[in-house]
Amino acid sequence: AGIVLAYVISHMSGTPVAISVPAILIGVGFSMLIGIVFGLLPSVKAANLDPIQALQRE
C-alpha cells in the first residue's frame, strides 16, 4: 500500500520516486527481527516461571 501511495503522490506532484528493493527488504528484515526479539523475551521469561508462583502474583 505504501509503494502504491508513493507512486500516486509522485504522479500527482510530478516528483520522481525511487524505491529500491534492497531498502524494502532491509526494512522488512529489521521489522521481523524486532518482532521476534521482543516476542521471545517475554515468552522465555514466562516459560521459566514456576506456575504456582505466577498464579500467586495475580
Q: Give yes or no for residue 25 having a pLDDT over 90.
A: yes
What confidence tier does 51 reach under pLDDT thresholds 50, 70, 90? confident
Q: Give yes or no for residue 24 having a pLDDT over 70.
A: yes
Averaged pLDDT of the chain: 89
Q: Give yes or no for residue 58 having a pLDDT over 70.
A: no
DSSP string for the chain: -HHHHHHHHHHHHT------HHHHHHHHHHHHHHHHHHHHHHHHHHHTS-HHHHHHH-
Is the pTM value of this prediction over 0.75?
A: no
